[in-house]
Structure 1
């Protein structure tokens, strides 16, 4: 599997998107619905109503990439927090692997002291 650069921002479009939308239609959604610049170094993530397909839109200074993933036996777990959800690249890889990001809990902070 390929990996995205860790420095990229990741934005999720919360509402389902018509699966027939191509690059131009998704660019309009980025500009109008997310109020973001589609030409910045970021990945924009969209899903269909059934949550079994996901589309990634990415600008790489020479053109747009449109990537599609279809799950055969499961559904993508979509975060439900804010109007525009931002993720890290590692969280995006987890989402693409089918991990429920809302169920993930950070490890507790442990402080170790040196004893004599």
Structure 2
């Protein structure tokens, strides 16, 4: 994912998030549930209950930015761990996730173009 920042950390929030939340609501999740500083040099990745949408929140030194992705047919391969609130990802793992792989690089999604 190309952005205007190169974050030092990427955090994946493991629980689902109500996607009516925008920047301010997600900042509250980062602060209160993840117990992290939203102003740090990091990306915070959230998923909805159906696992077909992602939001990525980050501070770019002038304000917060929110990136949104929706899958048309499949679901994101979202890890689950009942003991953790969030996990730390590498840039490669984030690329895998955004490309339809699980974060350990297995099970790709296969798309075909349909005469758009």
The TM-score range, normalised by the shorter chain, is 0.7 to 0.9
- Which segments of 5 or more consecutive residues in structure 2 lack a partner in the other structure? 107-116
What TM-score does the superposition give when structure 2 sets the normalisation length? 0.81
What TM-score does the superposition give when structure 1 sets the normalisation length? 0.81
Q: Counterparts of 1:1-116 in structure 2 under 5 Å?
A: 2=2, 5=6, 7-81=7-81, 82-102=84-104, 104=106
Q: Which residue of structure 2 lines up, in the alignment, with residue 112 of structure 1?
A: none
Q: Aligned-pair RMSD on alpha carbons?
A: 1.6
- Counting matched residue pairs gives 103
Structure 1 or 2, whichever has the larger Rg, is 1
- Inter-CA distance 84–78: structure 2 relative to 1 (3 Å threshold): same
1:103, 1:56 → 2: CA distance?
20
2:99, 2:2 → 1: CA distance?
12
